[in-house]
Structure 1
Amino acid sequence: MVQASISQKNLFGTGKELDLSIDNSRVTKTARIRYFNPYHTPNGVSRGFYLSFIDIDAGEAGLVDYINETTSLGVNYRFPLSEHNAFGFSFGPDRVKLQSTSETPPEIDAYIKVHPDDWLLKTTANWTHDTRDSILYPTRGFYAIISGEAGLPASDVEYYKAGIRGDIYIPFVYDIAFRVGGDMGYGAAYGDTKLFPFYKNYYAGGPNSVRGYKARSLGPEDSGLTPRPLGGNRKLTGTAEILIPFFGAETQDKRFALFVDGGMVFGPNEDVELNELRYAAGIGLNWYSPVGPLQLSYAVPLNDEPEDDIEKFQFTFGRSFR
């Protein structure tokens, strides 16, 4: 695996940012360049440009087996609406090239034969509301984001996705906090497109989702000889946890968590049934280490089925906490 990145946060003393990164691993090969101007206008509007190439071997990630090469180019803006509210959007073309393998299941192979090389005129938009007292370790406040994504009518594939995610932090004593969070998403095709593109599916299971279950394992599976997670066009997950700091520590960079997670994803031909949600309870450690965010958890599934992939101990590094 090869990873490299260069980041300049104050380009030529202007306050503008330039990021370059490459990643060559067994699952993904990526190259990205991003330019960002946080002071595009005097009233705080920011603007950025991006160019990226991503090559994903989904089978190596334990998902339905296919290869996805996506090239993206676009511009994004962020508008501050008030002290606690902001609106952002992006716009640009994506080229999506799909390739079957010898292990690709029939339903995915049939889709790829119809859509082997598509152009998407993609746009995204989001509204955020944030009253948390800290970005890294909040103990009080509310965070919410409503987001959308669409392949516009000029695209080879016309689709849309909409989601809402939120967290409420309630303080107790001695910097102990209670958090309740939820995440819902829905996607569908429209216009001349009949099927929602499977590579835009939602997934559930694993860290930052439903701990105690293997990452991305919950929900529909493909029809292959060895079924693999396919994801779904609808997602529902939630969590409740008590966040406990390290008492006596000089810095507030780590917390224990006692949690209960729940969730599931559903396919387009399935009913959303709450009794199908999977639950798990456990204990975790969140630590902003000197080299990046680190999360450890041990969870016990509460209502798993024989076909579920269980993974009680989980570890993630380099990804921000929920």
Structure 2
Amino acid sequence: MLTRFARVILLTLWLAASAQAATFTIEDIEVEGLERIAPGTVFTNLPVQVGDVFDDARSAEVVRALFRTGFFSDVSLRRRDNVLVVVVEERPAINEINISGNRDIKDDELMEALRQVGMSRGRVFNRTVLERMENELRQQYFARGKYNVRIDVEVEELPRNRVDVNIDIAEGQVAKIRRINLVGNEAFEDKEILRRFDSGIPRWYAFFSRRDHYSRQKLSGDLEKLRSKYLDSGYVNFSIDSTQVTLTPDRKDIYITVNVDEGEQYTLSDVRLGGSLIVDEEELMELVDIAPGDVFSRARITEAAERITQRLGEEGYAFANVNPIPEMDDDNREVSLTLFVDPGQRVYVRRINFTGNARTKDEVFRREMRQMEGGWYNASHVDRSRVRLQRLSYVESVNIETRRVPGQEDQVDLDITVKERLSGSFTVGVGYAQTEGVLFNLGLSQDNFFGTGNRLSLNFSNSTVHTIYSVSYVNPYYTMDGISRGFSLFYRETDASRADITRYATNRFGGTVSYGIPLTEFDTFRITPGYEHVEVLTSASSPVEVTDYLDRQGNNFDLYSIEASFTHDTRDRTVFATEGNLQRVGLKVTIPGSDLEFYKADYRMQWIRRLSESLSFGLSGEIGYAETYGDDEVPFFEHYFAGGTRSVRGYRDFSLGPRDSTNNDPFGGTFRTVGSAELLFPPPFLDDAGNMRMSLFFDAGQVYRSYEDFDAGEIRTSVGVGMTWLSPVGALTFSLAQALNEGPDDETQVFQFSIGAAF
């Protein structure tokens, strides 16, 4: 029996012999087992080459290097004489990734999430990535509040070492917020804070609200709102200590707890300017609406800095920066504030580039620009250019980016991206209007005719009240200075009795030529000469006021007129304006040679102010006055009327004011005054409704036989709620109104609607 020493000697000799046998000089390298991967990929990653001495240490190095590529599931080495044979087993390639069952998250978003964890079509399939992939998909749904999502993954093997990855998703329901608890707040009540949140319990009237749907991003935004409220109220040391989101065992309900530390309230002890001011210090200080003694407010400080930046932008400093620098006095709970002004380099605009205008010619947009190429940059001119572009009916949105010219410190380019909306329509429709009954409409309109910005309209409409044929064409830039010119021709048949007003009918045809002359950026003068022929038809039931007038004047009239108007318009938009005001004064006069001599003077105003991001308050009013300068009275077919969705809601269309003596039908008058106060807001039951707006309104108005008959006590009033919807068939206006002081002859109507409301 060998001694232990002898056994050790024999083992040492055997290992030495084996090591010598495994060591050899590589004369060639062969690769076996490749199907899709090129041999060059293997040779590129091999740490050895022909001529190297190969031993066991190099063997482990080769295997590790090939595994690191991720292409192979198995690697082994063999020796045939002095040839190194590398035997590999490739991982399968992903042929397709099929996702089903997803509704809340689109395929593209899920595919992007998979790419981030290394799973995409054409890449090598690695089963170890599956778990990571499933976790990533769950995180995508967890971020949207769907905590009971179920994800099933099936790997289907295909020929040529390929696989399909089939992902079936059962999204489940969004976990709903049942309560948000605030801990540590003393300055503000829970209700005052939570009503600013996008997360929470839906309001009782918000039937389709998603406010109680939990989202991590939405909660983060709410916490920022909470922080802003305290910082805007002087609590400069406010902090959110912790936020706990608790999920019930069934993963359907969520309870949120927010712990806050309010700190103390601070006031301003001093406000001053520093840095390079460029503009006179007194002028800049007038833009700062905060003063010593005021409660510290981050929002007011930010607004002051933005106003200063805007003012410097008007001097050409496009990249001016105003940094608020506070100095804290914790003992007295005061803040000394310095607004440090860094104007940067003054720049001028080298080029203005438009993108997104696939249908509209470049020059159509350029003529709206108030910032010129080659001029000093002016922030107010850029902003006004944006508004003018937004006001074009064929533009949906405008984005202006100020970009530095590479290598030039004093030059910028304006990159303007416009999103066009459909500017033309061909309509064939049948509908119903409350006043006019069944409607038939055939129309062709184009607000951007062949991309020129010109407007063309051809229309035919028929109802129980009206039959209308019309054609119009307007060139808003007839001259380079912005003078517009338009033409219109029309033929209109009207049966007034079908609208429940005085019993007569008219046939009218004529035409106009209109010129609009811009006086300033916001002011326009318009003059419109025109001709109209009017034929009046009566029946046995026509009132004596109508028949007596026609006995004196006849029933066919040729009217030559000139209409002039002055408009001041600072509204941010022409449809659904949220800020600005409109003032319009108009006068229409029949000139000598006309069969009738009269004039009509009108005044219209609209004033609107934004109260918050989604809330605006508006006042509007109209006054109309007609008078004759001949021997007879104003023709009855030129009378004013009131009542209905366009004047005093809650009263039947045209029903207010004087009535005829024969049938007691509305007869209208020569003096009208109407007005409205409205609180404007988006529909509370829809999260995104850019084409809808609601209002709480108070309407007032009346029509009088003449100005001398005006009596403020006769003005009719109403209150209610209204909604306007810019539908594919036109603007639809609905209202629910309660008349407040109707008279014995007034006709009230709680629910009203109309098509094609004016703005």
Q: TM-score, normalised by structure 2?
A: 0.41
Of 478, 498, 502, the match for 1:40: 478
Runs of 4+ in 1 over 3 A off after TM superposition: 8-17
Query: Is this contact kept in 1: 2:682–2:692, CA < 8 A?
Result: yes
Identify which of structures 1 and 2 has the higher relative contact order when contacts are C-alpha pairs closer than 8 Å and 6+ apart: 1
Of 477, 490, 497, the match for 1:52: 490
Query: Is this contact kept in 2: 1:219–1:265, CA < 8 A?
Result: yes
Query: Is this contact kept in 1: 2:670–2:707, CA < 8 A?
Result: no
Q: Deviations over 1:123-163 (max 9, x none)?
A: 11111111112222222211111111111122110000101
Task: Supply the distance in 1 between the matched residues of 2:598 and 2:639 (Cα, whole angstroms).
Answer: 11
Q: Using the TM superposition, give the Cα deviation of residue 291 of structure 1 relative to its aligned residue in structure 2, in angstroms.
A: 2.8
Query: What SS is found at the alignment partner of 1:60?
Result: helix
Task: Supply the distance in 2 between the matched residues of 1:121 and 1:40 (Cα, whole angstroms).
Answer: 24
Of 160, 167, 187, the match for 2:626: 187
Structure that is richer in helix per residue: 2
Query: What SS is found at the alignment partner of 1:275?
Result: helix
Report whether the alignment pairs 1:95 with 2:533. yes
Query: What SS is found at the alignment partner of 2:520?
Result: coil
Task: Identify the residue that residue 308 of structure 1 maps to in structure 2.
Answer: 746
Task: Supply the distance in 2 between the matched residues of 1:62 and 1:211 (Cα, whole angstroms).
Answer: 17
Query: Is this contact kept in 1: 2:671–2:707, CA < 8 A?
Result: no
Alpha-carbon distance change, 9 to 165 in structure 1, aligned in 2, over 3 angstroms: closer
Fraction of identical pairs, as percent? 36
Q: Deviations over 1:4-42 (max 9, x none)?
A: 112244545654333211122221111111122222111
Report whether the alignment pairs 1:209 with 2:647. yes
Query: Pairwise mapping of residues 11-160 of structure 1 onto structure 2 (< 5 A)?
Result: 11=449, 14-113=452-551, 114-160=553-599
Query: Pairwise mapping of residues 229-240 of structure 1 onto structure 2 (< 5 A)?
Result: 229-240=666-677
Larger gyration radius, structure 1 or structure 2: 2
Query: What SS is found at the alignment partner of 1:59?
Result: helix
Task: Identify the residue that residue 196 of structure 1 maps to in structure 2.
Answer: 634
Task: Supply the distance in 2 between the matched residues of 1:268 and 1:201 (Cα, whole angstroms).
Answer: 10
Query: What SS is found at the alignment partner of 1:243?
Result: strand
Of 282, 290, 297, the match for 2:735: 297
Query: Is this contact kept in 1: 2:682–2:689, CA < 8 A?
Result: no
Structure that is richer in strand per residue: 1
Q: Using the TM superposition, give the Cα deviation of residue 186 of structure 1 relative to its aligned residue in structure 2, in angstroms.
A: 0.6
Matched residue count? 319
Query: Is this contact kept in 2: 1:100–1:112, CA < 8 A?
Result: no
Task: Supply the distance in 2 between the matched residues of 1:217 and 1:122 (Cα, whole angstroms).
Answer: 28
Letter in 1 for 2:668: G
Alpha-carbon distance change, 262 to 36 in structure 1, aligned in 2, over 3 angstroms: same
Task: Supply the distance in 1 between the matched residues of 2:564 and 2:555 (Cα, whole angstroms).
Answer: 27
> Where does structure 1 lack aligned partners over 5 or more consecutive residues?
none
Alpha-carbon distance change, 216 to 164 in structure 1, aligned in 2, over 3 angstroms: same
Query: Is this contact kept in 1: 2:599–2:628, CA < 8 A?
Result: yes
Q: Using the TM superposition, give the Cα deviation of residue 2 of structure 1 relative to its aligned residue in structure 2, in angstroms.
A: 3.1
Of 709, 726, 738, the match for 1:271: 709
Query: Is this contact kept in 1: 2:646–2:757, CA < 8 A?
Result: no
Letter in 2 for 1:311: Q
Q: TM-score, normalised by structure 1?
A: 0.94
Query: Is this contact kept in 2: 1:3–1:23, CA < 8 A?
Result: yes
Q: Deviations over 1:168-225 (max 9, x none)?
A: 112212321111111111100003x31111111111111020000001100000111x
Query: Is this contact kept in 2: 1:165–1:183, CA < 8 A?
Result: yes
Of 600, 604, 607, the match for 1:165: 604
> Where does structure 2 lack aligned partners over 5 or more consecutive residues?
1-438
